[in-house]
């Protein structure tokens, strides 16, 4: 078995162990940023279907190189409005939407022949000034705006915990995201997705109701020093 297939198998075993019979469906998004298409193929061959990318240029080249694979692509990085058109055309999901202007550009450029783009609103749960995301309490207004746009489908919320390594702190931050989604649903919007949990903190995320984990290092190993480019090995 390839190392990536082994990592995937071990991770899935630990996830189901952590779920302890909880029947919630969890989607594992394999974060392939900086890694070459060959590694994505290896994960795909092992049954992985959802992949996450952060950098538009790298991602578009990689998606092109892997056009023969029926994979689901998630944009999880920081997105500038001037690159939103590419993302709206190439991706199936965008996790980091935190302003209405960006949502409008994504909706406008979603090709008519494709299903609406699945969108999560990013909430700044670590309250670090440098991180993206709306403030807790501001997610509902943006979710309403997104739900009314024809090219988008509001799916839920995305958040990143502080990289403290402190499990209790991560849980407290993920709980903020869970309560935000509960409030949005109580207001009558449909939203089934809590995108939270990375290699270091996915257990805390599951404990707080995650439905989507975004995991890179635990599947692919340490990231390359620079982004993959077409033409590179």
- In the complex, the residues that contact ligand PLP under the rule CB under 6 A are 31, 33, 54, 76, 160, 198-200, 214-218
What is the smallest separation between the CB atom of 23 and ligand PLP, expressed in angstroms? 25
User: Cβ closer to ligand PLP: 117 or 210?
Assistant: 210
What's the CA dihedral at 154, 196, 95, 83 to 10 degrees?
170
Position closest to ligand PLP via CB: 216
Distances (CA, A) of 163 to 98, 146, 197, 220: 20, 29, 11, 19
What is the smallest separation between the CB atom of 181 and ligand PLP, expressed in angstroms? 17
What is the smallest separation between the CB atom of 94 and ligand PLP, expressed in angstroms? 12
User: Cβ closer to ligand PLP: 32 or 107?
Assistant: 32
Alpha carbons 176 and 87: distance in angstroms, whole number: 28
What is the smallest separation between the CB atom of 197 and ligand PLP, expressed in angstroms? 8
User: Cβ closer to ligand PLP: 55 or 185?
Assistant: 55
Contact (Cβ atoms closer than 8 angstroms) between residue 55 and residue 87:
no
User: Cβ closer to ligand PLP: 4 or 198?
Assistant: 198
Alpha carbons 192 and 127: distance in angstroms, whole number: 24
Instruction: Pinpoint the alpha helices (H) of the chain.
Output: 3-19, 37-45, 56-65, 84-90, 100-109, 139-147, 167-186, 202-207, 217-220
What is the smallest separation between the CB atom of 7 and ligand PLP, expressed in angstroms? 11
User: Cβ closer to ligand PLP: 222 or 233?
Assistant: 222
Query: How far is C-alpha 3 from the chain's CA centre?
Result: 23
The continuous run of DSSP H or E covering 118 comes out as strand 117-122
- If DSSP codes are grouped into helix, strand and coil, which group holds residue 150? coil
User: Cβ closer to ligand PLP: 78 or 90?
Assistant: 78
What is the smallest separation between the CB atom of 150 and ligand PLP, expressed in angstroms? 27
User: Cβ closer to ligand PLP: 84 or 198?
Assistant: 198
What is the smallest separation between the CB atom of 67 and ligand PLP, expressed in angstroms? 23
User: Reduced to 3 DSSP states, what percent helix, strand and coil does the chain have, rounded to the nearest 5?
Assistant: 40, 15, 40
Pairing status of strand 27-31 against strand 50-53: parallel
């Amino acid at each position: 078995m390839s190392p990536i297939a082994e990592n995937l198998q071990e991770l899935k075993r630990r996830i189901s162990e952590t779920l302890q019979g909880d029947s919630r469906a969890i989607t594992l998004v394999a974060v392939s940023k900086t890694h070459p298409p060959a590694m994505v193929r290896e994960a795909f061959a092992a049954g992985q279907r959802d992949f996450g990318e952060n950098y538009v240029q790298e991602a578009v080249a990689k998606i092109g190189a892997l056009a023969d694979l029926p994979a689901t692509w998630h944009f999880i990085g920081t997105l500038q409005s001037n690159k939103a058109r590419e993302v709206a055309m190439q991706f199936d999901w965008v996790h980091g939407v935190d302003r209405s202007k960006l949502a409008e550009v994504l909706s406008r450029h979603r090709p008519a022949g494709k299903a609406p783009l699945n969108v999560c609103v990013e909430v700044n749960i670590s309250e670090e000034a440098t991180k993206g995301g709306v403030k807790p309490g501001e997610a509902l207004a943006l979710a309403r705006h997104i739900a009314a746009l024809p090219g988008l489908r509001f799916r839920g919320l995305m958040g990143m915990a502080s990289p403290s390594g402190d499990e209790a702190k991560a849980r407290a931050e993920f709980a903020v995201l869970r309560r935000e989604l509960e409030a949005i649903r109580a207001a009558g919007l449909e939203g089934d997705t809590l995108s939270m949990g990375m290699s270091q903190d996915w257990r805390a995320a599951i404990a707080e109701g995650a439905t989507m984990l975004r995991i890179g290092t635990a599947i692919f190993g340490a990231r390359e020093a620079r982004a993959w480019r077409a033409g590179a090995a």
